[in-house]
Amino acid sequence: MASGLPAALKAAGLSPTTIGYAPTPGSLQDIEDGKITAGLGVDFPVALWMAVDVAARLVLGEALTPGEQAGSAPEQLLEQKDITFDPSKGWTGYRLTWLARRSASEQYPLMRSAPTPGRIPPGSTFSAR
């Protein structure tokens, strides 16, 4: 996000409001320490998973979720009060405790609608263009 910025601002005697995008673990630590004001946390692994899920749903003819239709991935403005987790592990919009309470079919909705023999024509191939 802004590696070296807090030290440079301190050396220059400046203390502006600083807001960054997609904070790294180091930047999250700077937010927790009060060296950076905030950062817009974007959950890239979940966004990537959503993109793959959208592609799989479209191939299978399944309906998209409202979040997938909107094209939104988990985001949060992270301020010092929001860093209640280990910054060295990065930020995610979801917590493992939340997932642990859900069944496998709830965690992985496509498991309920996995292709059955004959649903995808034999010999079908997919290629990147």
The pLDDT-based confidence of 28 (bands split at 50, 70, 90) is very high
Percent of the chain at pLDDT > 70 equals 71
Q: What average pLDDT does the structure give for the chain?
A: 75
Helix (H, G, I), strand (E, B) or coil at 41: strand
> What is the reported pLDDT for 95?
54
Q: How far is CA 95 from CA 27, 43, 44, 65, 86, in A?
A: 20, 12, 14, 20, 12
The CA distance from 45 to 2, in Å, is 21
Residue 61 confidence (pLDDT): 92
Mean pLDDT of the 73-101 span: 76
Task: Using DSSP, state whether 7 is helix, strand or coil.
Answer: helix
Of the pLDDT bands very low, low, confident and very high (cuts 50, 70, 90), residue 124 is: very low
Q: Domain coordinates of the chain in residue numbers?
A: 18-113
